[in-house]
Amino acid sequence: MTAPLVMRGVGKRYRRRWALRDCTLAIPERAIVGLAGANGAGKSTLLGLTVGLLAPTEGSLEVLGRDPRLEPEVLAGVGFVAREAPLYRSFTVGDTIRFARATNPGWDASVAGEFLTRLSAGDRVSALTAGERSRLALAVALGKRPRLVLLDEPFERLDPLAAREFLQLLMDGVSELEATVVIASHVIADIERVSDHIVLLGDGQVRLEGSAEELISTHRLLTGAARPLGRIAGVEEIVRKRSSGRQMTLLVRIDGRVVDPSWSVDEIGLEDLLLAYMAPERLPGPEAPEKGRLRWHG
Amino acid sequence: MAWVTWRQHRHQLLIGLALIVALALAALVTGLPMQTAYEREALSSCLPPAARSGCDIIVRHFQSEYGGRVDVAGYLILLPALVGMFIGAPLLARELEHGTHRFAWTQSLTRRRWLLSKTLLLALAVTLGAVILSAIVMWWRHPFDGLEGRMSPGGFEIQGVVVPAYALFALSLGVLAGAALRRSLAAMSLTLAVFVAVRLAVAELLRPRYRSPEHETMAGLVPGAHARDWVLSNSLVDAVGRHITSAREDLAILHAQQARIDPQEYLLSLGWRRALSFQPADRFWTFQLIEAGIFVALAAALLAVTVWFVRRSPS
């Protein structure tokens, strides 16, 4: 089984600015991938490249084993919901489904139907709520029975309840289709809930990639007295350093066990880990870390 | 894709249909009295070069009675431009403006097929409409074509096969402008500007040269001799064929008037003659086919550029 999405040194430049640079990754089959990153980190660019809406400036990519720019037919196996779920506003729900049927030879009405239970065919798209609209867009994306599903900021305009409902529908749908899913979001909490694989982008580069367990098991928080830092046994790299008063907290990547008794070693949750990677190297204004669960953000 | 195209463009297509129906009715209402008068006054026996007595009065009367309508019909040259502006330009620009191309182009159909099916289906509808319109005009203008011919731009450009060709060109141009500018309004303006420029350039620079014009030099102006031809130039030449400027002509006429001689006679006595160059009326269909060929070829080329552009442009 090949990876449904492979990128090798992919870069995309808009005029002078690189939106994505030197991006190398392989998404495992049937994974639920959280594509995290701050606004402007390159998430939409990465998805745009994957569906062939954009052409890479450098590097090469394979979607379901093929280059989406050279063989756009591969898009039949990719379900994509762009940011803000663009649909034809003047269409009704029925028109939209008919459009999807007309433009997708492999259309499966029964898959799409599950998302449309509470929508009536005569409703205009422009009159739908954000949640209903997202469901309709998802119905179109999954009704073509894709092997790879890409969602760009799907929760952005949804209230928490609608977001949860959307996520539930999505998970039911993809488990039935046995599809791989990539969810791009800047809200880490959304991603953390469902993802078993993480790709973190920052300033157009891949900062972190791996399965959730792998990432958690290779990172630790070290807390101890402030001191000049040298090598710590078992630590591969110090990712972030934060001192408050006489105490110091380190986020480290480990390659063994940290046994140094002068550090207290804690596991870090996925959400905190991602936020720590997204945060700038030096955080302004030291704060005392909370007891028990250490946080890296405000 | 037929349903998709219909669903997305039904407003434009229905408005187009309504326009054709309205024009057909207008043609019927204004055309029938014209045809009746034509029959009643037996104008067919007055067509040039016939010189039945009294014909000049009959013809002049007919022309002054109905000439205004023919002038109004001249505005029909704008219709192809409207096709480009209101059907062609928004085709891609509206998708790009609203971001819906991210929806449309990520379904299973490749965007090349999406673009080609939509454009070609619309082209078919536009061609059909334009052919109907052209046929209506040909029936309506028929009495005037007999008198004045249809070789001059006023008649040539609103009938025959050039009408669908202009419309296809405008459609293609609009689609490309929309792809390049990504804004409906800007694309519509550009479409109008380029369409007018190309149409004028072809009419002024190319059409007179599709076939080499015929020349004729004659003593005086015979009224009606070339009424149905497209006269490209009409000037005075002296006995050895040199061109006489209008200033000199005016001076000579003034001179004759002062001397109380008939100016026409006087110019003849100087050995001055009238030189015409013209495209004869019987070249109408040849010219129609050449001009239609040019615009259909341009339309095809623009469509090819659009397909290439849409394939490679970032979205």
For residue A78, give every residue at least 6 positions away whose Cβ sits within 8 Å of its Cβ, in sequence order, or none.
Answer: A50, A51, A63, A64, A68, A146, A147, A148, A149, A150, B106
Residue A280 structure tokens = 């700038």
d(C-alpha A288, C-alpha A282), whole Å: 15
Cα separation values, A254 from A202, A219, B129, Å: 22, 6, 73
The reported pLDDT for the residue numbered A292 is: 47
Residues of chain A neighbouring B117 (CB-CB closer than 8 A)? none
The answer to whether residue B4 neighbours chain A at the CB level (below 8 Å) is yes
Domains of chain B, residue spans = 15-48+76-212+283-312, 230-279
Please tell me whether residues A69 and A182 are part of one structural domain.
yes
What is the ipTM metric for this complex? 0.87
pLDDT at position B221 is 60
Instruction: Note whether A189 and A240 are same-domain residues.
Output: no
B43 pLDDT tier (thresholds 50, 70, 90): confident
> What average pLDDT does range B28-39 have in this prediction?
91
The winner for highest mean pLDDT among A178-182, A232-236, B54-58, B240-244 is A178-182
**For B84-105, what is the mean pLDDT?**
95
Strand partners, A58: A11
Q: Are residues A234 and A122 in the same domain?
A: no
Co-location of A205 and A234 in the same domain: no
pLDDT at residue A286, as a whole number: 43
Question: Residue B104 and residue A103: Cβ atoms within 8 Å?
Answer: yes
Do B138 and B160 touch, CB atoms closer than 8 A? yes
State the SS3 of chain A: CCCCEEEEEEEEEECCEEEEEEEEEEECCCCEEEEECCCCCCHHHHHHHHCCCCCCCEEEEEECCECCCCCHHHHHHEEEECCCCCCCCCCEHHHHHHHHHHHCCCCCHHHHHCCCCCCCCCCEHHHCCHHHHHHHHHHHHHHCCCCEEEEECCCCCCCHHHHHHHHHHHHHHHHHHCCEEEEEECCHHHHHHHCCEEEEEECCEEEEEEEHHHHHHCEEEEEEECCCCCCCCCEEEEEEEEEECCEEEEEEEECCCCCCCCCEEECCCHHHHHHHHHCCCCCCCCCCCCCCCCCCCC
Mutate to test the interface with A, among B106, B110, B117 (most CBs of A within 10 A): B106
In a domain, A285, yes or no: no
Chain A: nearest CA to B158, how far in angstroms? 35
CA distances (Å), B311 to each of A48, A69, A86, B142, in order?
A: 14, 8, 20, 47
Q: How confident is the model at residue A290 (pLDDT cuts 50, 70, 90)?
A: very low
Q: What percent of chain B has pLDDT over 90?
A: 63
What is d(CA B207, CA B151) in angstroms, rounded to the nearest whole number?
A: 11
Q: A191: domain CATH number?
A: 3.40.50.300
Residue B215 dihedral angles phi and psi, to the nearest 5°: -120, 150
Question: Which residues in chain A have Cβ-Cβ distances shorter than 8 Å to B99?
Answer: 82, 84, 86
Those residues with Cβ within 8 angstroms of residue B133's Cβ, 6 or more apart along the chain or in another chain: B20, B23, B76, B79, B163
Query: Does residue A181 sit within a domain?
Result: yes
Residues of A at the B interface (Cβ-Cβ below 8 Å)? 14, 48, 51-55, 72-73, 75-76, 78, 80, 82, 84, 86-89, 91, 95, 98-100, 102-106, 137, 140, 144
Question: From the list B108, B111, B114, which residue is nearest A105 (CB)?
Answer: B108
**Total length of chain B:** 315
Q: Which two tokens stand for residue B3?
A: 């349903």
Pair B310, B179: CB distance under 8 Å = yes
Q: Is the pLDDT of residue A97 over 90?
A: yes
Residue found by looking up tokens 């009367």 in the block: B61
The answer to whether A166 and A138 are in contact (CB under 8 A) is yes
- Burial letters for A119-137: b for 16+ Cβ neighbours within 10 Å, e otherwise? beeeeebeebebbbbbbbb
Question: Using N-to-C axis directions, what is the helix angle for B184-201 and B162-181, rounded to 10°?
Answer: 140
pLDDT at B58: 83
Is B45:B153 a contact under the CB 8 Å cutoff? no
Mean residue pLDDT of chain B comes to 91
User: Do both A53 and A142 map to the same domain?
Assistant: yes
Share of chain A above pLDDT 90, in %: 53
Q: How far is B11 from chain A (nearest CA, A)?
A: 12
Q: What is the DSSP letter of B43?
A: G
Q: CA of B12, closest CA in chain A: separation in Å?
A: 14
Q: A192 and A228: one domain?
A: no
Q: Give A103→chain B minimum CA distance, Å.
A: 6
Helices A130-143 + A160-177 axis angle, to 10: 10
- Give B270-290 pLDDT, tens digit per residue: 888 888 899 999 999 999 999
CA atoms within 13 A on the CB side of A288: 5
Q: How far apart are the first and last CA of chain A?
A: 42
CA neighbor of B90 nearest in space, from B19, B166, B13: B13
Report CB contact under 8 Å: B102, A73: no
Domain identity same for A124 and A225: no
pLDDT band at A284 (very low <50, low <70, confident <90, very high): very low
CA-nearest residue of chain B to A71? B110
Q: Which long-range contacts (CB under 8 A, 24 or more apart) does A281-288 make?
A: A281/A240, A283/A240, A283/A242, A286/A242, A286/A243, A286/A244, A286/A245, A287/A244, A288/A244, A288/A245, A288/A247
Sign of the CA dihedral with B209 first, then B212, B213, and B219 last: positive
| Within-domain flag for A287 | no
Average pLDDT over residues A161-184: 90
Put simply, the answer to whether A87 touches B108 (Cβ < 8 Å) is no
Same domain for A41 and A87, yes or no, is yes
DSSP per-residue string spanning B227-254: TTSEEEEEEEE-TT--EE-HHHHHHHHH
B269-280 burial: b if 16+ Cβ within 10 Å, else e: eeebbbbbbbbe
Expressed in percent and rounded to 5, the helix, strand and coil fractions of chain B are: 75, 5, 20
State residue A192's pLDDT score: 83
Mean pLDDT value of segment B1-13? 94
Model confidence pLDDT, tens digit, residues B145-177:
888 889 999 899 999 999 999 999 999 999 999
| Same domain assignment for residues A244 and A173 | no
- Give A103's contacts in chain B (Cβ within 8 Å): 1, 4, 104, 107-109, 114
**What pLDDT band is residue B209 in, cutting at 50, 70 and 90?**
very high
The pLDDT tens digits for B117-139 are 999 999 999 999 999 999 999 99
pLDDT band at B41 (very low <50, low <70, confident <90, very high): confident
Q: How far apart are CA A58 and CA A56, in angstroms?
A: 5
* Per-residue model confidence (pLDDT) at position A93: 95
**Predicted confidence (pLDDT) at residue A298 exceeds the cutoff of 50:** no
- Both A44 and A106 in one domain: the answer is yes
Q: Is residue A296, in this structure, part of any structural domain at all?
A: no
Contacts of B105 in chain A (CB under 8 A): 52-53
Total structural domains within chain A: 2
Domain span including residue A98: 5-213
**Shortest Cα distance from B123 to chain A (angstroms)?**
20
| Chain centroid offset of residue B34 CA | 22
Query: Quick one: A16 and A80 in the same domain?
Result: yes
Contact yes or no for A56/A50 (Cβ under 8 A):
no
Cβ–Cβ below 8 Å for A144 and B108: yes
Question: Is B219's pLDDT higher than 80?
Answer: no
Say if A294 falls within a structural domain.
Answer: no
Same domain as A234, residue A188: no
Position A287 confidence tier, pLDDT thresholds 50, 70, 90: very low
